[in-house]
C-alpha cells in the first residue's frame, strides 16, 4: 500500500479499541495513580484490539494531507514527504524521519 493510493473512508476506522463497550467494561479511574490491576487489564485488552490497525490509520491520516495546499505551492502530503526525505538524506535517526513525515497530520 502506498500513501498516495486511496484508503478506506475515515468513517470506516475504529474510534478506539472498545468504542462499543459499556462504561463498566472500561477503566474507572480518573487519575493514573488510582488505577487498579483490573482497570489496567481492561486498558491492555482494548489496546491489543486497537493496535493491529495502527499503521493503516497513520497512513490514512497522511492521505488526508493530499490536496491541502493552505495557500502554499505544494500540498501538505508533498511537504511532509519532502521533509522526511531531507531528514533521511541528512542521516537522521529513523525516529526523527518518522516525526518529520508525520509532523503535519494534526493540522488536517
Q: What is the pLDDT of residues 81-108, one digit of tens each?
A: 999 999 999 999 999 999 999 999 988 7
The reply to whether 77 falls in a domain is yes
Residue 63 lies in a domain: yes
| 74 pLDDT more than 70 | yes
| Mean of per-residue pLDDT scores for the chain | 86
Helical segments of 1-108, H only: 37-50, 54-63, 76-89, 94-102
Question: Averaged over 71-77, what is the pLDDT?
Answer: 97
Tell me which residue range forms the domain holding 83. 55-108
Query: 51: helix, coil or strand?
Result: helix
Q: Which residue has the cell 491492555?
A: 44
Residue 101 lies in a domain: yes
Q: How far apart are CA 48 and CA 26, in angstroms?
A: 14
Amino acid at each position: 500500500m502506498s500513501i498516495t493510493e486511496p484508503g478506506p473512508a475515515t468513517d470506516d476506522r475504529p474510534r478506539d479499541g472498545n468504542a462499543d463497550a459499556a462504561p463498566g467494561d472500561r477503566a474507572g479511574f480518573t487519575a493514573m495513580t488510582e488505577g487498579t490491576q483490573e482497570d489496567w487489564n481492561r486498558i491492555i485488552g482494548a489496546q491489543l484490539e486497537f493496535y493491529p490497525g495502527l499503521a493503516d490509520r497513520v497512513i490514512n491520516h497522511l492521505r488526508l494531507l493530499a490536496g491541502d495546499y493552505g495557500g502554499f505551492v505544494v500540498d501538505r502530503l508533498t511537504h511532509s514527504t519532502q521533509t522526511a526525505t531531507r531528514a533521511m538524506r541528512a542521516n537522521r535517526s529513523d525516529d526523527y524521519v518518522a516525526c518529520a513525515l508525520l509532523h503535519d497530520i494534526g493540522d488536517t
